Structure 1
Amino acid sequence: MTDSLHFLVSEELAMPADPLTSAMARIIAARYPDAARAVLFYGSCLREKNLDGLMLDFYLIVSDYRAAYGRRWLAPANRLVPPNVFPLEHEGLFAKYAVLSEEDLTRLCGPQADNVSVWARFAQPSRLLWAADDRARRHVVDAIASAAPTLLQLTLPMMPPSSSPGILDLWRAGFTFTYDAELRAERKGRSVSIVDVDPDRYERFGRAVLDDIARRQGSGPQGEAPQILSPDDAANRWRRLQRRGKWLSVVRLAKASFTYADGIDYLAWKINRHAGTNIAIRPWQRRWPLIGALTLLPRLFRGGAIR
């Protein structure tokens, strides 16, 4: 019998992380004393033992945006196009943290989300490094426990009907679809390597997800997890997610030019690191980061640095 999905998510979120990342989580929470509810650490850096030279990724979960920002323009910006993203440096380590409300975390991890950016990330491993109280901790676990079912429910109908895909094949296909729904700097094949770096984890979580879907929706004639959507409906849903995801990526890039100091340099660093390019930012692009960032897009598409 497989472990319950909720148990696996709770167990994984509670696993230890590098003490410096825990210190950074506390610093992030302290910046928002009236609103901070939880801080999550996620991304490829979870697997790294040496964090020097890396950009660490965090999510700050807040009670609501007005409590986090007061009456500044950042509150409506975060509400209209979540998340806002900010930089952090601590003891020589560099990080960025994205801000989401508890309400948006729940919405964007679930099947009602209009883009993949949150549930695609939290279908992968993450760590809950700080929580304001037990209620905040339970809320995070409940929200993240819906991320992987969202991914696999949308992926199941897209698998060839004549095939018998394994659980890892399902994950690989799902992450490939999500990578096509955002502007990504990573090389082709990165979506597959996510699964291959820890297949045991994805096997266990995949079985728990399919059991969870079958429990909630009823199992198929062979005891399999049911397909919630028809293949045509699922394909249409992915197309909508891909169109909206590309547009949202550009809007978030524009917003980050205002919320993120030296954001265009970070953009160039990330693309160079993942895509093997050698982009150099010119002085005028630093003076006008929004225009400078947007002028990179046609060149990056032509060169295949982002997809």
Structure 2
Amino acid sequence: MSNQLLPLVTAELAAPADPRAAAMAGALAAKYPDAARAVLFYGSCLREANLDGLMLDFYLIVSDYPAAYGRSWLARANALVPPNVFPFEHGGLIAKYAVLSEADFARLNSPAADNVSVWARFAQPSRLLWASDDLARQRAYAAVAQAAPTLLSLARPVAGDCPDVLDLWRTGFTCTYGAELRAERTGRSLSIVDADPDRYRRFGEAALADGLPPSPADAAGLWRRLQRRGKRLSVLRLAKASFTYAGGIDYLAWKINRHAGTRIVIKPWQRRWPLLGAITLLPRLLRGGAIR
């Protein structure tokens, strides 16, 4: 079997990023000196020249959850419903970061994942901005290299006979957007590929040349299960974030307003009881199509 995708993933992860984002990644790792293994930068901010006023997105990969949190309830919450998400500020920038163990990060990028949230993101461009040592770096490369084959193998039975590799990517992203509560407008899943078709063609052709994981016999049924589970997990993570993320409901409103063009204003009582406030928003947002 060839091995064409891993060098592409390695080069992309090792590519330069904004120095302020790199400094933020180092500061984030320093918060977890006994546990931090890698920090990855992903999301729309990778394409931005000016990061001021934006919310950066990081994944903090840790050795395990007890090492990160001690005996805190946060360790149990991270293991039961990964990841935990927290806010972070450094050098005048703001971010949110998700925490996963090395084992969970590898599993959730692979076909063994029971939801799309990790591999759907890391099939897209990202940067490895900090690693504790070479072993942590190589493990991060290997985990991320599973993401594109996972997406493409699940998309292939849905896409029909012999689609162009870019259509295969578009099918995969369209399916993943249906498996989460997303604030982005209709068509966002297609624009991901159209923003850099050369990258997706190279990565897709390399993954196909290497050989994809076996596609499921009942792909349509699997996607339905992923959609049901993804919606439930989105609500559970929202509930958990009301305890881990100060100002989380304001971030939720900002994210939805930015992507869906809405003008949601959070009321004082919703900040006082963010879990209840978020739950009361959900039916209206679903009815109005602000999230899907």
Q: How high is the TM-score relative to the length of structure 2? A: 0.98
8 Å CA contact 2:24–2:91 kept in 1: the answer is no
**Matches of 2:106 and 2:90, distance apart in 1:** 29
Following superposition, the deviation at residue 3 of structure 1 comes to 7.3
* Count of equivalent residues: 291
Q: Give the aligned partner of residue 251 of structure 1.
A: 236
Structure 1 stretch 57-66 or stretch 82-91: which is displaced more?
Answer: 82-91
SS of match in other structure, 1:86: strand
- The whole-number CA distance in structure 2 between the counterparts of 1:3 and 1:116 is 24
SS of residue matched to 1:182: coil
Q: How do residues 98-177 of structure 1 correspond to structure 2 at under 5 angstroms?
A: 98-161=98-161, 164-177=162-175
1:273 paired residue number: 258
Residue 6 of structure 2 aligns with an amino acid whose one-letter code is: H
1:22 aligns with 2:22: yes
- The C-alpha deviation readout for 1:29-59, integer Å capped at 9, x for no partner, is 0000000000000001101101112110000
Q: Which runs of 5+ in 2 are unaligned?
A: none
- 1:195 aligns with 193
Give unmatched runs, 5+ long, in structure 1.
218-226
| Cα-to-partner distance string for 1:184-210 (whole Å, 9 max, x where unaligned) | 000000000000100000000000111
Q: Could you tell me how far apart the structure 1 residues matched to 2:194 and 2:175 are?
A: 16
**Partner deviation per Cα, 1:64-102 (whole Å, 9 max, x = no partner):** 000000011000000000000010112221100000000
Cα distance in 2 between the residues matched to 1:267 and 1:198: 28
- C-alpha displacement at 1:213, in angstroms? 1.5
**Cα distance in 2 for residues equivalent to 1:18 and 1:82:** 28
2:55 corresponds to 1:58: no
1:83 corresponding residue in structure 2? 83
Distance (Å, rounded) in 1 between the aligned partners of 2:209 and 2:260: 37
Deviation at 1:165, TM superposition (A): 1.5
Calculate the aligned-residue CA RMSD, in Å.
1.1
| Structure 1 counterpart of 2:277, from 287, 292, 300 | 292
